[in-house]
Chains A and B, each alone.
Chain A
């Protein structure tokens, strides 16, 4: 099967222009019912605020819209088509029952300000999900308000800050390992903290000696991803927590990789004080081309007073309600209560799994990553031999000798019918290939992936140009990203 792919083949797909190019005056895809109240004169009511014209908005029919977006959709790769091994992104199966239940009338049409008396169903969902997430993380209190992981980080650090402030001073710095996601330092800056880099040791883990040296009373918290971005579990986590706590600091855990831990170990048990979860990673809510997500933040009891408001409470009569009287709260981070639709999906996922399913899911995710590691070891450079959890990070060191970089290998993988892995991250691995299969891949799919990666490695040896020219099978070849940034064209204009 050398240099051929068993997974993918070419098939016809449709060309499709921009929707504006199909527009023609008088076409319509809408119909309003007759007005049951008197018509009004907008100019008379609105005066100079009345709008006369909507510019170049399209005018098209319903079938054209269906074809337009269906055609566009066929130009995308998706989990539904195959393995999507983007490291750190956790591209797992998105169950369809989740999509059904979120559209049930009472849930989809619930107004956030409707009386609590007729909101008990939604509040019960929030409570049940909260209870499950607290049990899974081993933490004491939780907010579901943050809209995504980075928003959860912001919320978590605001609480860290409020906690220290309540003890006298907010402190000045956040320690962040050099392997961290970019959101961590960006978040620290938004909360008014200075960022101090923490070097990794030879195993790709936190250098405990360096941490001891850098930790002092100016440090508010350490932001740690565990397992970290190399897919490595921080084995000295208990020491790390002790070092932080001894100097009054807090341990923040970025829960982006919580899918490696669910049902096997709980952050609350190993010393974490505050953490966020990504419902769109570990708990199967769809990524949808970039969002929406949801980034609940779970904390230890000492941080509970600082949770964003409102906080869900049970009233004496057993009904649920929001409590807005929270004098020590960090405030609101979002209008209303968060991405409720994601809560519904995440809870449906948890119910579908139960304790046994959640544990098996974690085990399979780790099994899959290790299977790929074993399959590709020796063919690609493994910069850290530390045991892998849910993802494995190789480097392009061997292929770079032939002038082929991680991005080139990634583009070639597209021709073999796979979405690429994460390229060039984490920053501590030059030319990284960060592979996360998740639990959703069968042995057969992973065997095809391993075969494809081996075949590409052979191509690099025999005919590197093939790889450098990839992808060849896509609608467009490699796009000129620097031209796009140099002279940005960010919207369609008539006559272009």
Chain B
């Protein structure tokens, strides 16, 4: 039964795969046997990630892509098909994090709003659109969108991030419902607080400095997402679609604050 967790002979396309959560997922996917197409804006990190995968004995391709540009996205999918002949899994992970500095609504420019939506939401839509047809033609495929706990709850002055991540969860639901008949599933991973280089520069003020405010008492690590990505990319998740897997240290189950609230009240007679 557990052999279905292997990704042998699967081709996975992941955006934002050179750094942060994406890189951690790339490493786990490769260890589980996948071949990878790693997309990202900057050449350096995606080349390094692809080399890591190749050194692990898998095939990998690094393709510079700005996911907010649908022509580049179409090129990413075409190059993947030219090289590997198939796409088993698409992971929409690219997001603007570090430029999403929380600020009062009256200080947000049109460009800031649009720029975040272009990458975080349009990017996932463009990639899903480009990959869905070849997947449907083959009668199988998996789309995994990376959202956030901020896609399910609000955050002070975090407009673009919350709105785009919430929209991605809805994109997943519509994809799941619409593409099920073609053998394609779509699911979301919603990470909670997981410090990476980009959160270090960006959400610094909005992130609790430690995990003290989370029920499990600590922050997550990028590596926590690896096994979840592998599960959703594998045949072990074939009957699961339209779902959100929340990986957040219990933040949504309990609320971020006030953690430690522990009332003791006797039952009235």
A-B interaction? no
Chain B interface (Cβ < 8 Å from any Cβ of A): none
